[in-house]
Structure 1
């Protein structure tokens, strides 16, 4: 939450945007799992990839990009991790043949991340 007081409508918008950020994070993990499961590398291989891809993204996110990340890194590094995870999810959608959904996902992620970053860094 920003340190400066927010008016009730701005506070409500901030909280809705934070909720959307969480949903986008979970969606990104789900998209990576879906992509991994659909790879034609054998049953065991696709199940392993369906587990490994979102697990790797979640570990990366938890270490560097989460609000209570294990390591404190500069804002640019946090945004870089988010770009890698969200970019992988968008590419997963493209690989699944979902071009329009990939574009929508990317657009929503960009707007959400810009707004969240603005409100979180506001003094």
Structure 2
């Protein structure tokens, strides 16, 4: 239960970090808003289609982990781009550990 809650918090944090990065760019406001909406929207679609517990396109465990790694890497890269390398590393490590634990628990339930 706690791991599932942490997974949800990490997923939301990833989206917030990407939006924050886009809004901090040195462009016109409408451009930043467009980039933020497109980036977050793409991540939401990617996650919902392939990585969510009730994904529209179920993948084998390795495929789901790859999609999650890509999405969480975007969140970590956003933090890095904001000049927060320690936070980026901490987020990446926490997301990787949580994804590993979630994958292990789901594998045990499926067996």
Structure 1 residue 111: Cα displacement: 1.0
TM-score normalised to structure 1 length: 0.86
> Computing the radius of gyration over CA atoms, which structure comes out larger, 1 or 2?
1
What is aligned with 2:20?
Answer: 34
Write 1 or 2 for the structure with the bigger share of helix: 2
Q: Which runs of 5+ in 2 are unaligned?
A: none
Q: Which residue of 2 is the match for residue 45 of structure 1? A: 31
Structure 1 residue 32, shift from structure 2 partner: 0.6
Question: TM-score, length-normalised on structure 2?
Answer: 0.95
RMSD, aligned α-carbons: 0.8
How many residues align? The count is: 109
SS of corresponding position for 1:22: helix
Runs of 4+ in structure 1 off by over 4 angstroms are none
Distance 2:97 2:29 in 1: 37
Runs of 5+ unmatched residues, structure 1: 1-14
